[in-house]
């Protein structure tokens, strides 16, 4: 897992990234965040808010809206 995280971090650095959105397999995120930081890339998680939207027919639906970034 550490080797995979290091490889991903090196790809981010080679791409010129200063920040990288991470997410997915929870067991990989701590190692990936650490490796990204070691390469000078800031790891970020997306933050969303669930918003209830009234529909014309009177029903409600939930919509997830991007609200920002949280540094890992």
How many domains is the chain partitioned into structurally?
A: 1
pLDDT in tens, 6-64: 999 999 999 999 999 999 999 999 999 999 999 999 999 999 999 998 999 999 999 99
- Domain of residue 58: give its range: 2-71
Question: Exposed (0-12), middle (13-18) or buried (19+): which is 50, by Cβ within 10 Å?
Answer: exposed
pTM of whole model > 0.75?
A: yes
- H-type alpha helices, 1-72: 2-14, 29-38
Are 60 and 54 in contact by the 8 Å Cβ rule? The answer is yes
């Amino acid at each position: 897992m550490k080797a995979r995280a290091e490889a991903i971090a090196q790809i981010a650095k080679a791409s010129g990234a200063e920040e990288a959105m991470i997410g997915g397999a929870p067991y990989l995120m701590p190692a990936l965040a650490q490796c990204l930081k070691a390469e000078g890339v800031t790891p970020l998680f997306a933050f969303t808010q669930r918003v209830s939207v009234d529909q014309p027919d009177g029903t409600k639906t939930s919509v997830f809206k991007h609200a920002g970034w949280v540094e890992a």
